[in-house]
């Protein structure tokens, strides 16, 4: 079975500081990994994904993620956080053969001014 884990329920950072949201995965075969963000009372917005190739993936709104095969991690990063980045972030993996996204529990990010 394929799964992802987000070890932190909450991440708090000051505006302008670097932001990191952690994700580890467990898959058999090649991992297809995704990050989504959810703002209050909204659906999920796609940020970025890793399929193959460069370990550093760049996405929307200045976010990037680093794929690390040896550590089975796919951490989301932003060099300088904004108050508007405050939201719920989900890491997900696609299950080969059934098109199903398996999500982590989510990490609430709060960026204080």
Partner 1 sequence: KAGVTQTPRYLIKTRGQQVTLSCSPISGHRSVSWYQQTPGQGLQFLFEYFSETQRNKGNFPGRFSGRQFSNSRSEMNVSTLELGDSALYLCASSSGLAGVYQETQYFGPGTRLLVL
Binding site for partner 1 (CB under 8 A): 32, 34, 36, 41-46, 49, 51, 90, 94-106
Q: Which of residues 86 and 102 has its CB atom nearest to partner 1 in the complex?
A: 102
Minimal distance, residue 98 CB to partner 1, in Å? 4
Least distance in angstroms from the C-beta of 42 to partner 1: 6
For 8, the token pair is 């932190």
Token pair for residue 73?
Answer: 């991690």
- Least distance (Å) from partner 1 to the CB of residue 105? 5
Q: CB of residue 56 vs partner 1: minimum separation in angstroms? A: 18
CA distance 28 to 21: 23
Using the minimum distance from each CB to partner 1, give the nearer residue, 49 or 75: 49
d(C-alpha 85, C-alpha 61), whole Å: 9
Cα–Cα distance for residue pair 3/109, rounded to 1 Å? 21
**Residue 102: beta bridge partners?**
93
Nearer to partner 1 among residue 17 and residue 45 (C-beta): 45
What gap in Å lies between CA 81 and CA 112, rounded to an integer? 9
Nearer to partner 1, 15 or 101 (CB): 101
């Amino acid at each position: 079975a394929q799964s992802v884990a987000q070890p932190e329920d909450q991440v708090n950072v000051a505006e302008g500081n670097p932001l990191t949201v952690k994700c580890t995965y467990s898959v058999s075969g090649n991992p297809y990994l995704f990050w989504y963000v959810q703002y209050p009372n909204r659906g999920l917005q796609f940020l970025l994904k890793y399929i193959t190739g460069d370990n550093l993936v760049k996405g929307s709104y200045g976010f990037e993620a680093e794929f690390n095969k040896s550590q089975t991690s796919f951490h989301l990063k932003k060099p300088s956080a904004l108050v508007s980045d405050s939201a719920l972030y989900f890491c997900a993996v696609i299950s080969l053969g059934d098109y199903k996204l398996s999500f982590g529990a989510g990490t609430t990010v709060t960026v204080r001014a």
